[in-house]
Amino acid sequence: MSQEDSTDRHSSMSATEPSLRDPFHTLGEVSVRGGTLRVARAGPPPPEADAVVLAVHGLTGSHIAFRTVARELVDRTDMCLLAPDLRGRGQSTALPGPYGHAVNVADLLAVLDDAGVERAVLVGHSSGAYAVALLAAEHPERAAAVVLLDAGVSFPTAGQDQVFEDVLEHLVSRVRAPYASVKQCVSLWRAHPALRKEWNDDMEAYVRYDLAGKPGAMRSVVREEVVVAETRDVIVDETIRTAIDRVRAPIHLVLAPRGLFDADPVLSRPVVDAFAAAHPDAHIEEIPHINHYTLVLGTTGPRRVAAVIEEAARHAIRT
């Protein structure tokens, strides 16, 4: 993996919070179909690490989503965390289609192969949880453990066509939305019901990293085709939606009691109960007082997520 210095390149100090150190000290490039995938690394190089974590962001996210978790993890362990910008997002936005989780799995395997990593703790947030579940199901030899962050489990499909259309409309409108300036975009996100109570520099870095274009016509770099493909994967494709049911590695499910808008959870109680019944050996934990975003970008959530990842890795090393 070719690398270049990226220290704090995309971060900016919040008006009310001290600047938070960027744990991703390198951004590298991994050759994949159609070009190169951008991959961030925190912690020691993989050959020198006690364990390697492959962290996969959500549908409209980037590796910055794991900035807080990575800081917590590398400050207390000698683990390496690899976090790619998935195809069609972040600094991998130029990669061509087709898109979807089957392609993501191929790209993630390329990341592991490039790093010389045979087995890793696979961590996925939101839609990324379905990507790591599919990777672990189809390539069990590469999964030391699977950590699902507020997603990745199967759910009822009644009315899936309408659900698909509703979710797609919301997500597409988000990536199409124009912004007059970075400041305007940051201000809008800062007022988001899920973020306004815990806004910090990591959240601002996450928002800034996603933007491109000239003032007056700035937009998210996320490709619309990605949104369509991965939304269809998660809601319509049964093979992907139920991939976790074929995983043999230890499974950890970490839940947020509140969802994307700080209200109803992403995973309902009946869905979680059904998963628990089908996976009696899975470790399931709900972190109080957080939502789907602050699970990885807040204060309490990332600290506990890092602890779960550490626990999963330590158990995998022992076995």
Burial profile 32-68: b = 16 or more Cβ within 10 angstroms, e = fewer: beeebbbbbbbbeebeebebbbbbbbbbbbbbbbbbb
Are 69 and 305 contacting, i.e. CB atoms less than 8 angstroms apart? yes
**Domains in the chain: ranges and CATH:** 2-318 (3.40.50.1820)
pLDDT of residue 15 exceeding 70, the answer is: no
Q: Tokens 């230890």, residue?
A: 250
pLDDT at 87: 98
Say which amino acid occupies 132. Answer: V
Amino acid at 286: E
* Helix (H), strand (E) at residue 183: helix 182-190
pLDDT at 17: 41
Residue 176 — very low, low, confident or very high, per pLDDT cuts 50/70/90? Answer: confident
* Token pair of 266 as six digits: 């992403």
CA distance 197 to 194: 7
99 Cα distance to chain centroid: 16
User: What proportion of the chain, given as a percentage, has pLDDT over 70?
Assistant: 90
Residue 69 has pLDDT above 50, yes or no: yes
pLDDT range class, residue 315, cuts 50, 70, 90 = confident
Whether pLDDT at 11 is above 60: no
Per residue in 227-270, pLDDT (tens digit) is 999 999 998 899 999 999 999 999 999 999 999 999 999 999 99
Q: What angle do CA 286, 290, 295 make, to 5 degrees?
A: 80
pLDDT reading at 203 higher than 80? yes
Interval 124-147: pLDDT, tens: 999 999 999 999 999 999 999 999
Rounded to an integer, what distance in angstroms lies between the CA atom of residue 196 and that of residue 214?
Answer: 26
Read off the tokens for 149: 């962050």
The pLDDT of residue 14 is 35
Q: Which of 2-6, 90-94, 183-187, 300-304 has the lowest mean pLDDT?
A: 2-6
Is residue 47 scored above 80 in pLDDT?
Answer: yes
Would you say residue 116 has pLDDT above 50? yes
pLDDT(9) > 70: no
pLDDT at 12: 35
Angle at 107 between CA 103 and CA 112, to 5 degrees: 145
Measured distance CA(294)–CA(279) in Å, rounded: 26
> Over the stretch 215-229, which tens digit does the pLDDT of each residue have?
888 999 999 999 999
One-letter amino acid at 193 equals P
Distance (Å, whole) CA 92 – CA 28 = 11
Other CB atoms within 10 A of residue 242 CB: 18
Asked if 83 contacts 70 with a C-beta cutoff of 8 angstroms, the reply is yes
Q: Tell me, what amino acid is at 81? A: L
Contacts of residue 106, Cβ cutoff 8 Å, sequence gap at least 6: 32, 33
What pLDDT is attached to residue 10?
A: 37
- 145 Cα distance to chain centroid: 16
Residue 137 CA to residue 61 CA, distance in Å, equals 23
Per-residue pLDDT band for 4 (boundaries 50, 70, 90) equals: very low
Average pLDDT of span 11-17: 36
HEC secondary structure over 234-256: HHCCHHHHCHHHHCCCCEEEEEC
Integer Cα distance of 312 and 298 in angstroms: 21
Q: How far does Cα 137 stand from its chain's mean position?
A: 18
pLDDT band at residue 98 using 50, 70 and 90 as cut-offs: very high
- The pLDDT assigned to 316 comes to 84
What number is the average pLDDT over the span 63-80? 97
d(C-alpha 118, C-alpha 316), whole Å? 13
Q: What pLDDT, on a 0 to 100 scale, did the predictor assign at position 319? A: 66
The predicted pLDDT at position 6 comes to: 38
pLDDT band at 26 (very low <50, low <70, confident <90, very high): confident
